[in-house]
Amino acid sequence: MHLGLMRYKYAAVEGRTGLGKTSFSIPAITLSEFQITGEGFIWAFPNERLRDEACEGAKKVFDKVEVTRDGVTRKLKAAVYDETKPKDEALKDIEGADVVFITLKG
């Protein structure tokens, strides 16, 4: 696949602590990805703390922003897939989500 196209399908965010990767970059990349593709997005984190922080940060941004895709304007929905819950309960938590936050375990 052409590298120029890959950047629209896969994203990695690296940087020093305190740079805003979790609070700013993740919601911004997610909004851009959705605007381009109209498809859902999954973010994977090494632990639950980072996963939960990222999801809460994204929810704050998504509550203030609407996206328009194919003539439909709406807010994005973010949810956490919690692998410590029974599978059917964890799947119910992410039902209808545009963006799902998981750990590398899940």
Q: What mean pLDDT is reported for the chain?
A: 82
Residue pLDDT, tens place only, 57-86: 999 999 998 888 888 899 999 999 999 999
pTM of the model: 0.78
Every domain of the chain and the residues it spans: 3-103
CATH of domain 3-103: 3.40.50.300
Compute and round to an integer the Cα radius of gyration of the chain: 14
What was the pLDDT predicted at 27? 86
Strand-pair category, 72-74 with 67-69: antiparallel
Residue 78, Cα to own-chain centre: how many angstroms?
A: 7
CA–CA separation, 37 vs 61, rounded Å?
Answer: 19
Per the CB < 8 A criterion, the answer to whether 93 and 81 are in contact is yes
Residue pLDDT, tens place only, 4-24: 444 445 555 566 666 666 777
